[in-house]
Amino acid sequence: MLIWGFYFVVKIILNFKGVLRLDIPWNIAFALFLLLPLPKWLDKHAPVRWARGLFSAALAVLLLWHDSWLPPLMDAIALVKQQGLPQKDYIINFASRYYDDKMVSWALGLLLACYIVNRFVRLVPVTVVAMMILIPVNMMAAPDSKEMNASVEGFYEGESTRVIDLKKSDAGRLNFDIVFLHVCSLSWDDLKEVGMENHPFFKQFQYLYRDFDSVTTYSGPAMIRTLKSDCGQVPHSAIYNDMPKECYTMNSLERIGFKPWVALNHNGVYGEFAKEMVKFGHLTTPPMNLAAVPANQRMFDDSPVHDDYGVLEQWWEARRGSDKPAVLYYNTVSLHDGSHWATDRTWFKKDRKALYHEFSSKLLDDFTRFFTLLEKSGRNVVVVFVPEHGIALRGSTTQAPGLRDIPLPAITNVPVGIKLIGEGFNGKPLHQTVIDKPTSYLAIAHQLSSFINRNPFDADGMIPRRMLDELPSTEHVAENQSAKVLRSGQKYYLLAKDTRWVELQKSETE
């Protein structure tokens, strides 16, 4: 019973550290099952003892998964079935992040201590008593679930009435293009981890959002939310439902005179990204053909990743053949976890942060080159830079580096910028407005609506302060399929896998 005593001691310690959340009734039930002796007539048969041992081990693994912050097991299995396993190199790279000499030494020391204690007292009954003592402690620490649920319901009720109607006024002139740069895997926290939070790239935007909630931590939902940004935030399950036509940003812009374009620097196969653009984002324009653009990177599934500047330059050359104002939706996966140089055969052995710094530097440089190309063209352009979510470079006690099932603020707080290129802006000193209030996609739609109705490139097109004052604020509610994070005041609360809310530790939210 030494190993089982060690198992429960480790879980109790991890519960105090916040690494997992102990489901005490189930753990006590499992401990009592382990303490229940086999009848003597069965115990004398070795196959029965082995079968019980294997069954107990399986239960222990399932209970550990249940207690962890990982998504429900069936959800994880469904995700793997839907999207498939990545390459073995990526699996090796991912697994290597969890090896820690200190942790191994700590575990061996604890095992030795359990061995010594177990010689004098049986550990499993002791852990049962310890878990029973924890029951009132956990109950006292838990926030009021009814109150938290009411806050979320009230949030969605308010969001359901918010719509930004993108339509052109009589005074509006469409003499500019709109470019959405939708970037996978970039948050303020990721930038801070690699010392790039003050990169010159972010000083190029007239408007920079510091408290923008991407809501989700996965590409498909982020794409859908971006393409439905004209309406208020909906629950995760509702993003796959049809919404009023006014909610679809690209479609609304097309109705008032913009020609839609779509470009990806990937094939859109993984996660059925390209199919979901059509089905849930109502993007009927096919992505541009990338046969002429070099694929200098590979994704973690070994699919090609094309050069960002090359794709954008090709789009611009194609766009110049049209007199209509254009709106481009561009999606890039150059920073996606596991993305690597096509010729690098040992990438999975390299430091993850060093690779991220290398690729993010190149991406921001490529975008800056694209901005310069637009400036030289003389065309007026509104650029909307909006990341899908972060890459979870740092990790935390509840979620290891690279995992994004829980939409922690370090992953969903992303740098969003709006840049005006063209008449009245090129070559002029840039005054940056930093927007600190909590916002989300509706704020982008609001700014675009303001630009459409009061052209910022006209002589009298100065953006009134009232536009910024009226910028819609959105409280921080982030969610995926199996987890939700709510900010209330200065605190964050998590709901994951069951109906119990927990307050996140301060280290999880900074």
Query: What is the per-residue pLDDT across 175-207, written as a single tens digit (0 to 9) for each?
Result: 999 999 999 999 999 999 999 999 999 999 999
When pLDDT is averaged across residues 349-375 and rounded to a whole number, the result is 96
Question: Pick from 211, 249, 260, 206: which is nearest to 383 by CA?
Answer: 206
**Confidence bin at 99 (pLDDT 50/70/90):** low
Q: Is the pLDDT of residue 470 over 80?
A: yes
Could you give the percent of the chain with pLDDT greater than 70?
94
Q: Do 420 and 206 contact (CB within 8 A), yes or no?
A: yes
Residue 334 buriedness (CB in 10 A; 0-12 / 13-18 / 19+): buried
Residues near 144 by Cβ (< 8 Å), separated by ≥ 6?
none
pLDDT at 153: 95
Q: What DSSP character marks residue 443?
A: H
- Cα–Cα distance, 110 to 477 (Å, whole number): 39
Mean pLDDT, the chain, as a whole number? 89
In the chain, what are the domain boundaries? 2-141, 149-508
Q: Is the pLDDT of residue 57 over 80?
A: yes
Residues near 221 by Cβ (< 8 Å), separated by ≥ 6?
215, 236, 239, 480
* Torsion angle in degrees (nearest 10) through CA of 147, 152, 156, 157: 0
pLDDT in tens, 225-262: 999 999 999 999 999 999 999 999 999 999 999 999 99
* Greatest C-alpha distance within the chain: 95
pLDDT at 171: 58
Domain covering 149-508 in this structure, CATH number: 3.40.720.10
Distance between first and last Cα of the chain: 41
When pLDDT is averaged across residues 386-400 and rounded to a whole number, the result is 92
pLDDT at 172: 60
- Within 10 angstroms of residue 225's Cβ, the number of other Cβ atoms is 22
- Cα–Cα distance, 397 to 69 (Å, whole number): 10
341 dihedral zone (left: phi>0; alpha: psi -120 to 50; beta): beta
- Cα–Cα distance, 83 to 272 (Å, whole number): 8
**Confidence bin at 85 (pLDDT 50/70/90):** low
Report long-range pairs for 194-202 (Cβ below 8 Å, ≥24 apart). Answer: 194/353, 194/356, 194/357, 194/360, 194/393, 195/357, 196/357, 196/360, 196/361, 196/364, 199/364, 201/364, 201/365, 201/367, 201/368, 202/415, 202/417
Which position has the higher pLDDT, 247 or 505?
A: 247
CA 234 to chain centre: 16
The residue type found at 270 is Y
